[in-house]
Amino acid sequence: MDIYLLEAIINGILLGGVLALLALGLNLIFGVIDVVWIAYADLVMCGMYLIYYLNAELNWPLLLACAWVAALGVLVHVLIIAPILGSAPINQLLATGGLLFFLQSFATLLFGTDFRNIGVRLPIIELNGIYISSARLLAFAVAGAGAIALYFFLRRTFVGTAIRAIAQDRDIVGLMGIDQRHIYLVTSAIGGALAGLAACLLTLQYDVHPFIGNTFGPLLFMICVLGGLGDMIGGFVAAFVMSQIIAIGGYYFSTELSYVFAFTFFIVLMFVRPRGVFSR
């Protein structure tokens, strides 16, 4: 096999790790609160700016960003999602779309459209002629660890069990003595924390600018829908499928065309399996 193709495939797998982490966060919020956060990728953007200022200027540790973005997630839930929990799903989608507009333009207002990076560049590893960025390798490993931690949290703790229960039947959970509003807040916080973790991993690889959310936001929704909205494992697998299409398509054609393939693949699969590829 062509060594450059192999490199593209490996990079695709590594990229898939971060996407899978984000898909987990988005799917968690969808499965539990039943709202599609169109602005989820822009929470990552906010996290990247927080890291840029707190780490590069004040030298605060990177992972604190998780806490900041978790707080941001709670704020979004309380201010925007909670008041419209009862309205039509499409209105909820559009409200978070308004948030997307707001976050992007507010970031433009505050920070301008310059590309910024924290100036940390991890070395590139060479392995039999294949070049692998260690930032990506690290991102993949941390994303995997995050996914496993989330799995055990959902399986082994009381709150995690309550979260899974609410995703199955939101009405009956109240009868079991669980406060739904409390669980919603916890879920938003976890979703935010995952976005913050992804922000830490992405700042090591990419420059931050107000519209960075647009580069992977749409892809993220396609991944979640493809895996079945709310289906964690489906989303996890779909993340790697999509990142492979993009990596291999980018190798043979161009980056834009590879995205065209990925989105077309999504549209076609929606017609074949309208409720997600892994739906039963």
Quote the CA–CA distance of 9 and 136 in Å, as a whole number.
13
263 is a contact residue toward another protein (CB under 8 A): yes
Q: Which of 20, 29, 45, 103 binds another protein (CB under 8 A)?
A: 103
Sign of the dihedral defined by the CA atoms of residues 132, 134, 136, 137, in that order: positive
Burial call 233-249: b when 16+ CB within 10 Å, e when fewer? ebbbbbbbbbbbbbbbb
Closest distance between another protein and the C-beta of residue 225, in Å?
5
218 is a contact residue toward another protein (CB under 8 A): yes
105 is a contact residue toward another protein (CB under 8 A): yes
Of 81 and 237, CB closest to another protein: 81
Closest distance between another protein and the C-beta of residue 190, in Å?
22
Q: Find, among 225, 240, 241, the residue nearest to 279 by Cα.
A: 225
- Choices 1-9, 67-75, 109-117, 127-135; region in contact with another protein by CB under 8 A: 109-117
248 is a contact residue toward another protein (CB under 8 A): no
The two structure tokens encoding residue 31: 């499965």
Q: Which residues contact 61 (CB under 8 A, 6 or more apart)?
A: 55
The two structure tokens encoding residue 156: 């082994």
- Choices 48-56, 122-130, 177-185, 248-256; region in contact with another protein by CB under 8 A: 248-256
Q: In what helix (H) or strand (E) does residue 127 lie, and over which residues does it extend?
A: strand 124-127
Q: Find, among 142, 252, 161, the residue nearest to 201 by Cα.
A: 142
Q: Which of 97, 117, 186, 206 binds another protein (CB under 8 A)?
A: 97
Closest distance between another protein and the C-beta of residue 70, in Å?
21
Of 154 and 247, CB closest to another protein: 247
Q: Which residues contact 82 (CB under 8 A, 6 or more apart)?
A: 181, 184
95 is a contact residue toward another protein (CB under 8 A): yes
> Using CB under 8 A as the criterion, which residues of the chain lie in contact with another protein when the complex forms?
36, 80, 83-84, 87-91, 93-95, 97-109, 112-113, 210, 214, 218, 221-222, 225, 253-254, 256-257, 259-260, 263-264, 266-267, 270-271, 274
